[in-house]
Amino acid sequence: MSSSKEVIRARKKLFNTLCERAFSHLSGEESMTVSLVSEKTLYARLNHSKIRQSTNVDQSEVEIQFVSNSRELKKSMTLTWDEGEDFKRLQLLIESARKEAEILPETPFIVDPENNASSDQDILLERSNNEEVIDQIFKPIQGIDLAGLYTDGWVIRANQNNKGQKHWFSTESFYLDYSIYSEKQKAVKSCYAGTTWNQKDWEANVNDSNHQLSQMRLPVQDVKRGEYRTYLAPAAVAEILDTLNWGGWSGSAYKQGWSPLKDLIEGKRKFSDKVTITEDFTQGFSPKFNHQGEVAVDTLTVVEKGELKNLIVNSKTAKEYGDLKSTAAGGSEGLRSLKFHTGGLAKADILSSLGTGLYVSNLHYLNYSDRPKGRMTGMTRFACFWVENGEIKGPIKDLRFDETIYNVFGDNLLEITDFSEVQPETMSYGCRHIGGARVPGLLVDKFAYTL
């Protein structure tokens, strides 16, 4: 069996060859960017501390961004890693793009490929068999009711264009995203993530969750709808930031009228001066290059002391709107490596500073209830407690909140924790996603629960 390093080296070589051959067949006025998304992943889906489904996935896709005759087209196809087969498919794909470029109308604001810079980064281990970990997972969870997903493997993100620009990024990691349950269906959520499985760390992680679960066995507290002082743990804050990432920081979303942060962008509203948010690629969650191989700066200030400093903008949007500057953003103009800066609230002081109110570990299923005004709704989930005079009284039944972001990050924000936690990207729609965010906890006054 080949190690991940060998397989990835072989794929790099073949990707280079495919690109070279494809670029050599372009005519003088045509240009093209080729992007690669590739992975080998083991997924083991767990329920009741047993395996429900296990799947090995080997998948790779290339996308061409083809420009000719003032037309731009995107086409993508599956790679099999057989050079003959893949080159044949790629030629057909380019040929169909060429034909369609003749019949389709002109594309506005095309950004022609350029050779800005190249990069090559492999963050790899020498593992050949990630299945062996499966046995290790189960030892400390016997007698515990656990559900979740073990994900392990490597991913590649790469692109090249016919002007000679080349970017390559690969990384190898695992995560066990899980929750454990009491007899009365109360739950605690956690995630054990890393690059090398360490049995002691895994056992400690489970013990920690189990300890939290014991607090969920306290009597359930009946909390009526209303406004409560609330501690939002990092995972809950990350959900709010995820929702804001849906158009909130995007230059084009703002220009087209669907930014939930319109009033912040226009300076009509402000967040608390405690709030600073940056896009920080030095955190290593994802590559600095975007789908066109444009490279972002290491750190970009998005919000500084409550005021918006920069929108997230790709070069196409910048070309369309003269007053926006490109930040080498991706297609959806979201934050790819968010860092919410910490404050002064120590972990040991969270409950006493909260006093009486709600401790919310996780939020779930957020959506806008009035998007242009930055108002959102969602549910509490997993380990959420009613706290009285700094003491946990017991878990709550799930509550619905409905609040504007200007209350949560603004007028009602009391304190930010002096620590933050990495929220690894665990999405796998289509393929395994990469990325992450580093987020602290927030103490908020008068957080509105409506159901």
User: Which residue(s) pair with 449 in the sheet?
Assistant: 226, 401
Decide if residue 428 touches other proteins (CB under 8 A).
yes
- Closest contact distance (angstroms) between CB of 128 and other proteins is 12
- Closest contact distance (angstroms) between CB of 415 and other proteins is 25
- Closest contact distance (angstroms) between CB of 373 and other proteins is 4
Segment lying near other proteins (by CB under 8 A), choices 192-200, 299-307, 398-406, 411-419? 398-406
- Closest contact distance (angstroms) between CB of 257 and other proteins is 4
Instruction: Report how far residue 213's alpha carbon sits from residue 144's, in angstroms, rounded to the nearest whole number.
Output: 11
Segment lying near other proteins (by CB under 8 A), choices 8-16, 253-261, 335-343, 353-361? 253-261
Decide if residue 268 touches other proteins (CB under 8 A).
yes
Segment lying near other proteins (by CB under 8 A), choices 8-16, 112-120, 194-202, 396-404? 396-404
**Using the rule CB under 8 A, which residue among 203, 307, 402, 418 binds other proteins?**
402
User: Which residue(s) pair with 415 in the sheet?
Assistant: 443
Sign (positive or negative) of CA dihedral 206, 211, 212, 218: positive
- Closest contact distance (angstroms) between CB of 341 and other proteins is 27
Q: What is the DSSP letter of 372?
A: G
Q: Is residue 59 within 8 Å of 431, Cβ to Cβ?
A: yes
Q: Where are the beta strands (DSSP E) in 305-412?
A: 307-308, 337-340, 357-370, 375-388, 391-395, 400-404
Q: Which is nearer to other proteins, 72 or 280 (CB)?
A: 72
Q: Is residue 387 within 8 Å of 274, Cβ to Cβ?
A: no
Decide if residue 432 touches other proteins (CB under 8 A).
yes
Q: Which is nearer to other proteins, 134 or 422 (CB)?
A: 134
**Size, binding site for other proteins by CB under 8 A:** 92
Q: Which is nearer to other proteins, 13 or 52 (CB)?
A: 52
- Closest contact distance (angstroms) between CB of 233 and other proteins is 17
Decide if residue 36 touches other proteins (CB under 8 A).
no
Nearest to 378 by CA among 397, 362, 396, 364: 364
Q: What is the DSSP letter of 220?
A: P
- Closest contact distance (angstroms) between CB of 199 and other proteins is 16
Decide if residue 257 touches other proteins (CB under 8 A).
yes
- Closest contact distance (angstroms) between CB of 82 and other proteins is 7
Tokens of 233: 């743990």
Q: Is residue 133 within 8 Å of 150, Cβ to Cβ?
A: yes
Instruction: Report how far residue 303's alpha carbon sits from residue 406's, in angstroms, rounded to the nearest whole number.
Output: 13
- Closest contact distance (angstroms) between CB of 131 and other proteins is 5
User: Which residue(s) pair with 379 in the sheet?
Assistant: 364, 400
Q: Which is nearer to other proteins, 167 or 432 (CB)?
A: 432
Q: Which is nearer to other proteins, 105 or 143 (CB)?
A: 105
- Closest contact distance (angstroms) between CB of 378 and other proteins is 6
Decide if residue 258 touches other proteins (CB under 8 A).
yes
Decide if residue 226 touches other proteins (CB under 8 A).
no
Pairing of strands 375-388, 400-404: antiparallel
Q: Among residue numbers 133 through 192, which ones bind other proteins (CB under 8 A)?
A: 134-135, 138, 147-149, 151, 177-179, 181, 185, 187, 189
Q: Is residue 447 within 8 Å of 358, Cβ to Cβ?
A: yes
Q: Among residue numbers 53 through 112, which ones bind other proteins (CB under 8 A)?
A: 53-61, 65, 72-82, 89, 93, 96, 99-100, 103-108
Q: Among residue numbers 314 through 353, which ones bind other proteins (CB under 8 A)?
A: none
Decide if residue 48 touches other proteins (CB under 8 A).
yes
| Coil, helix or strand at residue 319 | helix
- How many residues are present in the chain? 451
Q: Which is nearer to other proteins, 44 or 206 (CB)?
A: 44
Instruction: Report how far residue 142's alpha carbon sits from residue 126's, in angstroms, rounded to the nearest whole number.
Output: 30
- Closest contact distance (angstroms) between CB of 39 and other proteins is 10
3-state secondary structure 116-157: CCCEEEEECCCCCCHHHHHHHHHHHHCCCEEEEEEEEEEEEE
Q: Among residue numbers 353 through 372, which ones bind other proteins (CB under 8 A)?
A: 364-372
Residue type, 136: Q
Instruction: Report how far residue 326's alpha carbon sits from residue 328's, in angstroms, rounded to the nearest whole number.
Output: 5
